[in-house]
Amino acid sequence: MVRIFVEGTEHEVKEGLNLLQAVLDLGYDLPYFCWHPALGSVGACRQCAVKQFRNADDTTGMIVMACMTPVADGLRISIVDEEATAFRSAVIGWLMTNHPHDCPVCDEGGECHLQDMTVMVGHSRREHRFAKRTHRNQYLGPFINHEMNRCIACYRCVRFYRDYAGGDDLDVFGSRNRVYFGRVADGVLESPFSGNLVEVCPTGVFTDKTAKACSIRAWDLQTAPSLCPHCGLGCNTLPGERTGVLRRIRNRYHGEVNRYFLCDRGRFGFEFVNSPRRLGQPVIRANGEATVVSAADAVDRVAAIVRAGGAVGIGSTVASLEANFALRRLVGAERFVMGVGAVEAEHLRTVAAILRDHPARMPSLREVEAADAVLILGEDVTNTAPLLDLAIRQAVLNIPKERVRELGVPAWNDAVVRLVVNRQTGPLFIATPAATALDGIATQTVRATPPTIARLGDAIAKIVDNAVASPGDLPFAVARIVGPAARALRRATRPLVVAGTGTGDIAVLRAASNIARALSRHIPDTALALVVPDCNSVGAALFDAPDLSAIEGREDIRAVLVLEPARTSRERRAALDAVLDRADHVVVLDHLQSTVSDRAEVVLPAATFFECNGTLVNNEARAQRFYQVFAPGDEVRASWRWLQRICQQAHGEGSASWSGPDDLTAAMSAELPELGPIVGLVPRPGPGPRSRVPRQSHRVTGRTAVNAHLTIREPKPPTDDEAPMTFSMEGSPGRPPPDLVARYWSPGWNSVQALTRFQQEIGGAVRGGDPGIRLFADRVVDGDGAYYPPCDEPVPRYGEWLLVPLHHLFGSEPRSMESPGVAERAPAPYLGLNDDDADRLRVDPGDMVTVEIDSRAFELPFRLVDGLPSGCAGLPEGLPAIAGLPPGRWARLKGPS
Amino acid sequence: MTGLLAPLADVALVLGLVLTMAAFLIWYERRLLALWQDRYGPNRVGPFGLLQVVADVIKIFFKEDWVPPFADRTVFVLAPMVIMVAVLMSFAVVPISPEIVVADSSVGVLFILAMSSMTVYASVLGGWASNNKYALLGGLRAAAQMVSYEVFMGISLMGVVVLAGSFRLGDIVEAQSGLWNCVPQFLGMLVFAVAGVAETKRVPFDLPEAEAELVAGYHTEYSGMKFGMFFVGEYLGVTLISALIVLLYFGGWRGPWLPPVVWFLLKTLAVIAVFFLLRASLPRPRFDQLMAYGWKVLLPLALLNLLVTGLVVLS
Amino acid sequence: MRAIFNSLRSMAHIFMHAFAKRETVQYPEERPQIPPRWRGRIILSRDPDGLERCVACYLCSAACPVDCIALQAAETPDGRRYPEFFRINFSRCIFCGFCEEACPTYAIQLTPDFELCELERTNLVYEKEHLLINGTGKYPGYNFYRVAGLAVAGKDKGEAAGEDPPIDVRDLMP
């Protein structure tokens, strides 16, 4: 800690910070543009000028840039100094010379950092008498709108896009006030993190295109803390709603998980909530005729079906713990299965086993960023867990940055750090079936089939610890990575192994476990990051329920209750269809119309993640709660509320007499001790309305007019009996508890930059502690667990191709596909082959290939996939057309005749 | 039979006249105030806006008749009745013409003084029962003010009584056949008029309901017809005091050409107009000023008046 | 004595007002002269080209102290913002004029029309078609898109007032 003096007042601040960070941490207002907590300082905008004094007697002082000045003991500065104020005022005057008169039609208005800073500095009149320079805009894809006139050349966009997120299609062109931030030519921004430009850009150059056509000011949005449901990482989000329509998703800072950024799937994949295919009313179907019925009638019917006996419940990996538990209570633990196939269930069991007692830690994304050697085994993280990709991109800079430390350059001095790093990357080894976006920064990459990747993993583990069984010989092209990777991991102090369920081969997961186990014999800080397919896969795995194959073909099944089915993979779809085909009664709780809901006898409209409260467990077993953003219309209600009513109807009031989420979680933790800690996640409202957190900002508008055309009486807003929040602007005016932060706003800070006021320290934990609970935080691990035995390489079958799932950020997750932008970016169904195999089949890109799986033939257009091993054919996972194919692993291919 | 009917007819006549008068005064005051403030006043409902009162009454009847949950219910309901009853009783002894009088009491003046002290209870009880600090303060002020001014009121009257040699109002009017009492009893008239303003709690002596500091004083919590009774009671009080001034000092119904009733009404309305002119022109004094004015100025004046009158009569 | 004299004098003075001229305007028969800046019924004006001036920036609704303005922004294919709906609940409006103060495009204006009585409150809810007039209202001449940087139909980049033509980034000239 060092002492600094601001306006003569003494403060203790942490060593190694820059002055800007320190004064913001202390709560002072100091304008800035080019500095960003995740990107560091470059001192480009000259906006954060302060006066620095030599000692207490010095009254003259000198102007310094706060973001480029390290804090030092006894440092004396003044922010309000007249000269410094005049300097800052002049700077913003210059920055504004070319800024257009656009605020009324700019989507950034109302949450614009430039607006805030201009007001903070007091600049109100343009003194530049000459004409403004203008730029032409570019088409940047379905997500991002470009309005280059508004640029103040802070360079944050390219520093984020290129330096931080590793993109290379956004760049800066031109010189002086003609600089242009954009692509070489019009086109889609390729980075999966392009949406963050909306938040990174301090003004309205990059704005959210999906929200542009029906723009809403930030102050009018009703928001609540939520979670991203589109992958297993559990990123924290802030969805915003107005007039019953979900309008946008913004990032919610979590010190350990997503921190400052979101991926484009998470940011733009929310529109399924507003889909015309949303189920709104309970429906009973008889003789092919669907009738809308009242909620009570639907509950009666389902209760009658359950009472008749022979009902099984199919849980979901995309539903909350609460919904799954309510279903389990309704049908009984022994008749409750998880809606996944046998292969995936085996994966999830392995993941759960690793979480429970593996000597290596499951790292949070922040811990991933700290890793100094990374091995990715089989997983295409960019497409299955995008934020993990971003974290790994930071991790590979750790070794090159050691030199920065040696030079005594502070870590926040971004320009110097980049200069010293000079595009070097630390050890990153990638073994995947197809090329990945991370290949560019990898030390070495290999392409191999999943079984080979698994054997490669075992080979690496064997070098680290000889106790691992020998996996046998590897092809030379693959084997060359073994030595370097093993050495790099062994030398590291915080090695990281990344694997997951993405390859669909359990052996890969086991091999990764073996490597991490071997490493942790030597290195205590070994981390093993596992990627799971769905937002609650781990939570579902902790139910220890059997999978769909357990009830396949059973005779005693009369009725099936399906909870929010996610039929993304071929295996899941086939397994579910096999069960549904045999059932007399099918009941579905879901939010979207689907082929399952079309065949159901009773359809109950379930609330989406944004319309109810619940708990999800992410890939590192962090249980986090999401909160209702808005009250759904029609008869939509939370799945567990439906199931509770059915349960009480069928088995009596006492069978599910939970009054609220606290009761429910208490019951759940009593039955499933592993989920015990989640009891502590449920906040209890204090006495009185002032202890509740308002979901609307204090500036929300139109209250007496927005519904005036329907009723002049201004109905009371819905009351929230599940969370200590309100659906209005009324409530506690103070700082909310960390897990209930519904918006970032602080006096004078209307943009997302107000976030600094919600952190314990900049870049640290959320003020009051990061929300969520690690389930296995205090596990005791027996370090001497056994290694998994190596798997056998499947014998290549003559004339058949091994099918490998290929993941796509846009496309592999079906709910996000309801967003028009995501659907536009998603690939059409295809079959991927490498060059040689294409030659063998004599096909050209676009030709139709006949694919025969499990003796059923389909036609798919062929597409060249780089690096795919020979004998492997890639199928894009999760695309609706692909998910309908049979689940077999092998396929016969035939080119066009 | 007629012996029984005649007093009843008198009662009905006086009651009707007096209540019509009170209603009419509402319009009369508004029109006069408007006249002195360069406005028109109510002129829309009925001819010259005369039916404004009817509209107001309809409105006031349809208002929610609310009794505050924290009030002393019985007393709260009783208070406005007291003022109505007390003032209406007083009119029983007021001779409107030589023929029209309900009860030509030989102690009419004393009866009126007694009844007017009853009206204090209305204010005090209303203020107390409301259980509201403003109402209570208003009630306290009303009590102090009315009890004080009653003293000078009575004393100032004595001069007239001495001159007429009777407490009967009819006799007093008869005694003015030559010279109206306003000349010999000028001082007494002034004191009586001022005390009358204070008794009826009219501007400038409306401290019990001073809206600037007490919201509405003792009737803050009253609404609907209960408020209406206070309201009408005040106008009845004004009518009574005016009628008394006319009877005691301006020769009552006496006058040439016109019938006595008309003369009486015209004179009363003229005195009422002076009451309204006071409201239109004078600001409200402080409470201590009010009390000092009463005890230090009016009391000596009233005593002086009585003394001189006595001396003159005796000599 | 002095106080009594003063009181009597003011009574006389007030009494003399009985003979003064009346100030009251007998409203329904006699029409008052309303100044043009009177804050009465709210309208939405059009720009000199006859297009809607409102760009749906939400500033009027934000400024409204009784929250009686609600709107929803939309965009034409050529990039002009407009309110999809624009609703004012006049039964809540207090005619403070903040909306007009806040409006950056002179779209929302208050007019001297004060005769807004209705028997049904619902009739006081005005939609855009009730609010929009065919004219520029009090502020002729102003056209927001002529000074804004946004390109719309009929005005490309760099064609607004006080703008240079767009920069060709590929130009090598300094």
User: Rounded distance, CA A124 to CA A89, Å?
Assistant: 10
* CA distances, A368 to each of A361, A363, A426, C36 (Å): 11, 6, 13, 67
Nearest-10 Cα torsion for B170, B172, B175, B181: -140
Three-class DSSP category at A860 = strand
Residue of chain A whose alpha carbon sits nearest to that of C105: A104
Give the 3-state DSSP-derived string for A802-851, with helices as H, strands as E and coil as C.
EEEEECCCCCCCCCHHHCHHHHHHCCCCCEEECHHHHHHHCCCCCCEEEE
Q: Determine the Cα–Cα distance for residues B142 and B216; give it in Å rounded to an integer.
A: 12
What is the C-alpha separation between A719 and A704, in angstroms, rounded?
Answer: 18
Q: How far is C120 from chain B (nearest CA, A)?
A: 20
B186 in contact with chain C, both atoms CB, cutoff 8 A: no
Q: Output the pLDDT for position A755.
A: 93
Q: Are C58 and A178 in contact (CB < 8 Å)?
A: no
- Among A97, A112, A134, pick the best mutation site for testing chain C contact (most C Cβ within 10 A): A134
ipTM computed for the complex:
0.88
CB of C67 within 8 Å of a chain A CB? The answer is: yes
- Using the predicted structure, report yes or no on whether residue B98 has a pLDDT greater than 80: no
CB of A701 within 8 Å of a chain C CB? The answer is yes
Tokens of A139: 């088409």
Residues in chain A closer than 8 A to C92 (CB atoms)? 704-705
A265-295 burial, b at 16+ Cβ within 10 Å, e below that, comes to: bbbbbbbbbeeeebbebbbbbeeeeeeebeb
Judging contacts by C-beta atoms under 8 Å, the chain B residues touching residue C17 are 35-38
Report pLDDT for C82: 93
Q: What is the C-alpha to C-alpha distance for residues B160 and B172, in angstroms, rounded to an integer? A: 7
The alpha carbon of residue C102 is apart from the nearest alpha carbon of chain A, in Å, by 11
Q: Do C7 and B282 touch (CB under 8 A)?
A: yes
Give the separation between CA A685 and CA A704, rounded to whole angstroms. 28
Instruction: Note whether A772 and A617 are within 8 A (CB).
Output: no
pLDDT value at position C59? 94
Contact call for C165 and A215, based on CB within 8 A: no
CA–CA distance from A3 to each of A15, A77, A340 (Å)? 9, 12, 58
Measuring CA to CA, which residue among A151, A154, A150, A144 is closest to residue A101?
A150
Higher pLDDT, A305 or B10: A305
Minimum distance, in Å, between the CA of residue A173 and any CA atom of chain C: 7
What distance in Å separates the CA atoms of residue A733 and residue A751, rounded to the nearest whole number? 18
Which of B282, B284, B290, B293 to mutate to test binding with chain C, by most C CBs within 10 Å of its CB?
B282
Residue C100 Cα, gap to closest chain A Cα (Å): 14
Q: Which of C21, C22, C30 is best to mutate for the B interface (most B CBs within 10 A)?
A: C22
* pLDDT tens-digit readout, B251-301: 877 778 888 888 888 888 999 999 899 888 888 888 888 888 888 888 888
Which B residues 30-49 touch C at CB under 8 Å?
35-40
Beta-sheet strand order (sheet of A527-531): A444-447, A428-432, A373-377, A495-500, A527-531
**Is B281 in contact with C23 (Cβ distance < 8 A)?**
no
- Shortest Cα–Cα distance, A143 to chain C (Å): 16
- Cα A746 to Cα A142: distance, rounded to the nearest angstrom: 32
Distance from CA of A243 to the nearest CA of C (A): 10
* pLDDT at B3 exceeding the cut of 70: no
Closest CA to A516 of A292, A744, A725, A351: A351
Nearest to C157 among A134, A215, A709 (CB): A134
Average pLDDT (B209-224) is 82
Instruction: Select from C57, C75, C151 the Cβ nearest to the Cβ of A104.
Output: C57
C58 near A CB under 8 A: yes
Cα–Cα distance, B102 to B13 (Å, whole number): 9
Mean pLDDT of C130-150: 91
Q: Is there a cis peptide before residue B204, judged by omega within 30 degrees of 0?
A: yes
Q: Chains near A, with 3+ CB pairs < 8 A?
A: C
| Torsion sign over Cα A402, A404, A410, A416 | negative
Provide, as residue numbers in chain C, all residues whose Cβ is less than 8 Å from the Cβ of B35.
Answer: 17-18
**B36 closest CB neighbour out of C17, C21, C26:** C17
| pTM, two decimal places | 0.84
Task: Look at residue B2 in the predicted model and tell me its pLDDT.
Answer: 55
Write down the pLDDT at residue A783.
63
Contacts of A738 (CB under 8 A, 6+ apart): A766, A767, A768, A769, A770, A771
CA dihedral B295, B299, B301, B305 (to 10 degrees): 180
Mutate to test the interface with A, among C47, C66, C80, C81 (most CBs of A within 10 A): C81
Nearest alpha-carbon partner for A766 in A736, A738, A737, A735: A738
User: Nearest residue on chain B to C11, judged by CA atoms?
Assistant: B281
Which of A131, A176, A704 is opposite residue C163, by nearest beta carbon?
A131
What is residue C85's three-state secondary structure? strand
Tell me the mean pLDDT per 10 residues along chain A, length 897: 92 92 93 93 92 90 93 93 93 91 91 94 87 93 93 93 93 89 93 94 93 88 94 94 92 93 94 92 89 92 90 93 93 91 92 90 93 94 94 94 91 92 92 93 92 92 89 87 93 94 91 93 92 93 91 85 88 89 90 90 93 93 94 90 92 85 90 89 75 90 90 87 89 86 92 92 91 87 78 78 92 91 92 88 87 88 89 88 85 83
Q: Is C71 on the interface with A (CB under 8 A)?
A: yes
- Residue ranges of E strands in A332-378: 336-338, 373-377
What HEC string does A419-478 produce? HHHCCCCCCEEEEECCCCHHHHHCCEEEECCHHHHHHHHHHHHHHHCCCCCCCCCCCHHH
Helix (H) or strand (E) holding A392: helix A386-395
Task: Please tell me the predicted confidence (pLDDT) of residue A789.
Answer: 87
Chain C residues in contact with chain B using a Cβ-Cβ cutoff of 8 Å: 7, 10-11, 13-15, 17-18, 20-24, 26
CB–CB contact C125 A699 (8 Å): no
Residues 6+ apart with CB under 8 A from A477: A446
Query: Which residue in A has a C-alpha nearest to residue C65's C-alpha?
Result: A701
- Please tell me the predicted confidence (pLDDT) of residue B118: 86
- Please enumerate in sequence order all residues whose Cβ is within 8 A of that of B12, keeping only pairs 6 or more positions apart, or say none: none
Q: Distance (Å, rounded) from C-alpha A252 to C-alpha A262?
A: 9
What span, in angstroms and rounded, lies between the C-alpha atoms of B31 and B43?
A: 8
Q: In sequence order, which ranges of A600-703 are alpha helices (DSSP H)?
A: 639-651, 661-671
- Kindly report, residue by residue over C36-93, the tens digit of the pLDDT: 889 999 999 999 999 999 999 999 999 999 999 999 999 998 889 999 999 999 999 9
CA dihedral A684, A688, A691, A695 (to 10 degrees): 90
C105 neighbors C53 (Cβ within 8 angstroms): yes
Q: Residue B269: which of B11, B105, B27 has the closest Cα?
A: B27
Please answer whether residues A516 and A528 qualify as being in contact, where contact means their C-beta atoms are separated by less than 8 angstroms: yes
A349-373 core/surface letters (b: 16 or more CB in 10 A; e: else): ebbbebbeebbbbbbbbbbbbbbbb
Contact state of B40 with C17 under an 8 Å Cβ cutoff: no
Q: Chain C residue closest to B281 (CA)? A: C11
Report the half-sphere exposure of A895 (CA within 13 A, side-chain side).
13
Query: Closest residue of B to C28, CA-based?
Result: B44
pLDDT digits (tens, 9 = 90+) for B35-65: 898 888 888 888 888 888 888 888 888 888 8
Determine the pLDDT at residue B1: 47
Question: Minimal Cα–Cα distance from C27 to chain B, Å?
Answer: 11
